[in-house]
Amino acid sequence: MNRDQLIATYEQQLNRIQGNRMYSDHAKKVLSAQAYKKAQEGLETLRQAELDSLARQRTQLQRRMFGTTSSSSDPNAVIARRDANDRAARLDDPREAATALQRAERDGDTVLAQAIAARASEWGWTDVLDTYAADRPGFVRDVEEWNALPDAEDIGWKLGHTAQFIAPTPPGFDGAHLASIDWYAQQSLDSDEPAPVVPSIFGGEAA
């Protein structure tokens, strides 16, 4: 079930609860709060799944661009990659990186060339990256795909993404603090315990 389907099912459930004349106002609040909690749990699961999928996409692209997609257990290959990463990490000037990349390409050292390109990407050395990409159309496509992905660390994107996975407030709780919904979700349908006084998000008190 996707986000839209989950919210549609939740809203249909709320409508059925509100339209049932057999329920008291208290019972309607209890059932609506329980429906909200369940819907919100489902939405949070979907939100996290999207973040996990995005992280996997980024990891796969990084491996295609700067690493290896194989799971080789060859110790020589592991040592070669580690050595290449160490050598690239010592580069702190784009001119040195460009020279090192040219030498690696000339020697056919693909692993070192990848490590240098990764270093250039970290430091924003676009000239070095352009040189690396010149004869690698696959790399260019991967970069374009990477750039098309949202930045999960961007605060604005985080807020917007999170807002998409918040269930609508159930009837009777408009302006209420989430603590009020939590309290009702734990009550029995025929409970006569008075609801706690919780400050409204708009000021004043909310039942």
> Which of the four pLDDT bands, split at 50, 70 and 90, describes residue 66?
confident
Token readout for 196 is 């706690």
How many whole angstroms separate alpha carbon 131 and alpha carbon 156? 33
The band of 202, judged by pLDDT with boundaries at 50, 70 and 90, is very low
The 10s digit of each residue's pLDDT in 157-198 is 999 999 999 999 999 887 777 889 999 999 999 876 766 655
What is the pLDDT at residue 191? Answer: 74
Contacts of 25 (CB under 8 A, 6+ apart): 172
| pTM exceeding 0.85 | no
CA torsion, ordered 108, 142, 81, 55, to nearest 10 deg = 180
Calculate the average pLDDT of the chain.
Answer: 89
At 201, is the pLDDT very low, low, confident or very high (cuts 50, 70, 90)?
very low
Helix (H, G, I), strand (E, B) or coil at 92: coil
Residue 74, pLDDT > 90, answer no
Cα separation, 71 vs 85, in Å, equals 17
Give which of 179, 182, 171 is closest to 38, Cα–Cα: 182
Residue percentage of the chain with pLDDT more than 70: 89
User: Which residues lie below 8 Å from residue 125, measured CB to CB, with a gap of 6+?
Assistant: 94, 97, 98, 119
Q: How far apart are CA 66 and CA 117, in angstroms?
A: 7
Q: What is the pLDDT of residues 2-32, one digit of tens each?
A: 999 999 999 999 999 999 999 999 999 999 9
Determine the straight-line distance between the first and last CA of the chain, rounded to whole angstroms: 32
Angstrom distance (rounded) from CA 8 to CA 168: 10
The string of pLDDT tens digits covering residues 101-160 is 999 999 999 999 999 999 999 999 999 999 999 989 999 999 999 999 999 999 999 999
> What pLDDT score does 76 carry?
83
